[in-house]
């Protein structure tokens, strides 16, 4: 099996540029744009994702003049164009003609024109219209040498996922009929005997509403509904991709979003590579918070391998109710290199010039409203020069990952159907990755459908659903010498979302060498996990573990209130040796208070070594190919930091030699080739 998370793109040069909206600007505004971009090192721009009303002002009346002129002007200066299918913003004449295209929310409110993503991607008529505009645009630019690739739609499911329009209702019933074939199979899968939900035909099936109507929906029905929404959006973009590939096989195809209820692994199969938009301003500006957007980059990489960033924050993003902090000098460049460090083969800063109208008129770009280049343009130009200098050294390399936190969209969905107020796989994997990131470990996300070859350690973040294939894959990994660590409630349901009748962890009991005898949560801290005589780790929930072949690595403490508790002194962490490897089971969840200690314990058991030694908030990653390594060091602090334990080599950015230790300036970057 090929390793997807370590798949390079087939790009021939590192992409650097910005989204550009010529339809927003007058000829005077646009006059110097192409040359200014070229001077800054831009080699690609993204265009047209919201321009359907300009391209087709009335049905079957098309105009491409402004895009033809702009693409040509940019092309003369060596700047290529990534076009977008404009299907996130269908025009007003269409929504007047076909109001049934509009989405409907859980309160039965039909979406209105005046924003974006207002039409339902499950609507057969809207899909036909989307294919039609894609075909028209593809034909227009089929032979244009300056158009090199496409972005499909824009940030799908960013604002709206659970649609309740008639098209979704009919589509859901058709999807269920295809999946189950007969209604009895569906009734069995959903457990419809509970609350008298048995259906006599697929035509009787309603949509599962959230918020509840009048109380909680069937968990099996809700899981299938989210599966349907994912499959629907994948089919939507797959049709557009097919049109473009049939027109020009040389075009590459991507998308720019990692939003809810989309199976990114399956989604990426329709693309040449994924894309992700990165806006650090949505998170607090403390150095350690850089782990949050590092995790977003890792999610993208786990779905398709190397990727691009079609939008990266360049100024203070702001809309009606908020305004981000303005990036400090050096941060814009730092963020771009962070993207490259995690596998990006292209970075586009959003946007070229700040718009003077509309819902994003304070979403600041590289240039301000007055069109005068200032420090952000200067920093952007520095990035352009650096990527031009070393970009080809990045292509063909992939991220070096030894510690993998596993990803499975269906686990997130299943947890969401019955979360009980407990942390789920999403929370667990982000906690685990954050701790690995803080420790400068060679870590990343890996989908459970990917190959585990080359990995040394796997973290299973409370995956509640289990099947034989996954169980066998984990066991084989351990037999070959890998370390697997799993957390509470692992392997407690099947793929139908039914709770298993066997004692947890069911199919994994032999792998971990334990059974789980009791489970519970705490409303306030009551027990600690004791490793040795001094190490006490808070436990927000507990499972009492009964070893069969496993050895006990830690036990629960006495109850904090001095009374008795079922878990007191019972095993909390166990280690089972199998073949050449080991399987660690931890009977609680990760949270802010315990994640550091628990992840440190797991990495020590797996023998994972950090890429560098530095303060938290200094990031170290590595990209490599067969005979060379690129170690990226990024200082997310505003003040200089000392980094040790680095490989000796040549810093591609400064031109200096590194002998294993360096002092990196505030918001500084080093790329050491060895």
Q: By three-state DSSP, how is residue 246 classified?
A: helix
**575 contact partners, CB below 8 Å, separation of at least 6:** 550, 551, 553, 582, 583, 584, 605
- What is the pairing mode between strands 252-254 and 307-313? unpaired
User: Please, what is the angle between helix 409-417 and helix 425-438, to 10°?
Assistant: 130
628-635/551-556 β-pairing: unpaired
Give the model confidence (pLDDT) of 58-98 as tens digits.
Answer: 999 999 999 999 999 999 999 999 999 999 999 999 999 99
Q: State the sign of the Cα–Cα–Cα–Cα dihedral 295, 297, 301, 304.
A: positive
Buried-exposed string 32-52: b where 16+ CB fall within 10 A, e elsewhere: ebbebbbebbbbbbbbbbbbb
* pLDDT confidence of residue 160: 86
**Residues 190, 531: Cα–Cα separation, whole Å:** 42
Other C-beta atoms lying within 10 Å of the C-beta of residue 463: 29
Active site residues: 155, 311
pLDDT digits (tens, 9 = 90+) for 352-382: 999 999 999 999 999 999 999 999 999 999 9
DSSP string, 354-416: --SSSTTTTS--SB-TT----HHHHHHHHHHHHHHHHHHHHTT-EE--SEEEEE-HHHHHHHH
CA angle 513, 409, 458 (to 5 degrees): 40
Its CATH architecture, for the domain 618-673, is Sandwich (2.60)
**What would the two tokens of residue 475 be?**
């066991």
Report the candidate in 151, 161, 389 with the shortest Cα–Cα distance to residue 252: 151
Class of the CATH-defined domain 403-606: alpha beta
* CB-based contact 262:296 (threshold 8 Å): no
CA-wise closest residue to 25 among 260, 452, 354, 339? 354
Kindly give, in sequence order, each residue whose CB lies less than 8 Å from that of residue 26, ignoring residues fewer than 6 positions away.
none
Give the pLDDT means over successive 10-residue stretches in the chain (674 positions): 91 98 95 97 98 98 98 98 98 97 95 95 98 98 98 95 96 98 98 97 97 93 98 98 98 96 98 98 92 98 98 94 95 98 98 96 96 97 98 97 98 96 95 98 98 98 97 98 98 96 97 98 93 86 98 94 94 98 98 96 97 97 96 98 98 96 98 97
Q: What pLDDT was estimated at residue 398? A: 98
Domain positions in the chain: 166-222, 403-606, 618-673
């Amino acid at each position: 099996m090929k390793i997807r998370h370590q798949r390079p793109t087939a790009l021939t040069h590192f992409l650097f540029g910005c989204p550009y909206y010529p339809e927003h600007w007058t000829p005077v505004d646009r006059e110097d744009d192409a040359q200014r971009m070229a001077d800054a090192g831009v080699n690609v721009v993204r265009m047209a994702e919201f321009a359907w009303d300009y391209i087709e002002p009335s049905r079957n009346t098309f105009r491409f003049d402004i895009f033809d002129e702009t693409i040509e002007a940019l092309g003369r200066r060596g700047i290529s164009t990534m076009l977008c299918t404009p299907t996130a913003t269908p025009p007003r004449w269409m929504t007047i003609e076909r109001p049934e295209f509009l989405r409907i929310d859980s309160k039965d409110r039909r979406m209105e024109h005046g924003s974006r993503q207002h039409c339902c991607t499950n609507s057969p008529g809207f899909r036909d219209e989307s294919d039609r505009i894609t075909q028209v645009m593809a034909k227009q630019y089929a032979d244009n040498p300056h158009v090199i690739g496409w972005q499909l739609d824009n940030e799908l499911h960013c604002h709206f996922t659970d649609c309740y329009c008639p098209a979704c209702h009919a589509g859901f019933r058709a999807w269920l009929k295809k999946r189950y074939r007969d209604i009895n199979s569906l009734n069995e899968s959903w457990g419809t005997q509970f609350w008298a939900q048995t259906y006599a035909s697929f035509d009787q099936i309603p949509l599962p509403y959230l918020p509840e109507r009048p109380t909680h929906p069937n968990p099996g029905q809700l899981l299938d509904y989210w599966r349907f929404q994912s499959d629907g959006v994948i089919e939507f973009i797959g049709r557009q991709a097919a049109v473009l590939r049939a027109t020009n096989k040389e075009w590459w195809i991507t998308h720019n979003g990692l939003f809810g209820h989309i199976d990114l692994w399956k989604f990426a199969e329709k693309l040449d590579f994924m894309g992700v938009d990165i806006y650090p301003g949505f998170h607090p500006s403390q150095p350690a918070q850089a782990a949050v957007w590092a995790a977003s980059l890792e999610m993208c990489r786990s779905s398709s391998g190397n990727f691009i960033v079609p939008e990266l924050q360049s100024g203070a993003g702001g809309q009606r109710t908020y305004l981000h902090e303005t990036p400090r000098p050096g941060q814009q460049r730092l963020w771009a290199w962070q993207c490259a460090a995690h596998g990006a083969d292209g970075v586009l800063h959003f946007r070229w010039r700040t718009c003077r109208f509309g819902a994003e008129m304070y979403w600041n770009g590289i240039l301000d409203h007055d069109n005068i280049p200032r420090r952000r343009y200067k920093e952007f130009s520095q990035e352009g020069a650096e990527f031009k200098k070393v970009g080809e050294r990045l292509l063909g390399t992939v991220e070096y990952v030894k510690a993998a936190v596993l990803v499975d969209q269906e686990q997130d969905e299943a947890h969401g159907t019955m979360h009980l107020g407990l942390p789920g796989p999403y929370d667990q994997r982000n906690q685990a990755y954050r701790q690995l990131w803080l420790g400068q470990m060679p870590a990343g996300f890996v989908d459970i459908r990917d190959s585990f070859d080359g990995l040394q350690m796997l973290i299973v973040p409370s995956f509640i659903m289990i099947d034989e294939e996954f169980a066998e894959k984990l066991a084989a990994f351990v037999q070959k010498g890998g370390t697997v660590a799993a957390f509470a409630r692992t392997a407690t349901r099947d793929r139908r979302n039914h709770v298993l009748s066997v004692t947890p962890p069911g199919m994994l009991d032999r792998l971990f060498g334990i059974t789980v005898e009791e489970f519970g949560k705490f409303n306030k801290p009551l027990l600690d996990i004791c490793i040795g005589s001094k190490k006490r780790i808070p436990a927000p929930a507990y499972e009492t573990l009964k070893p069969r072949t496993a050895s006990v690595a830690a036990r629960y403490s006495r109850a904090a209130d001095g009374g008795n508790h079922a878990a007191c002194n019972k095993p909390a962490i166990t280690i089972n040796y199998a073949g050449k490897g080991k399987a660690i089971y931890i009977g609680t969840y990760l949270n802010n208070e315990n994640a550091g200690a628990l992840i440190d314990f797991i990495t020590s058991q797996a023998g994972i070594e950090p890429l560098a030694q530095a303060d938290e908030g200094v990031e170290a990653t590595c990209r490599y190919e067969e005979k060379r390594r690129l170690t990226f060091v990024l200082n997310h602090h505003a003040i200089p930091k000392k980094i040790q334990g680095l490989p000796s080599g040549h810093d591609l950015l400064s031109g200096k030699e590194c002998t294993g230790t360096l002092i990196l300036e505030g918001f500084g970057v080093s790329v050491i080739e060895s």
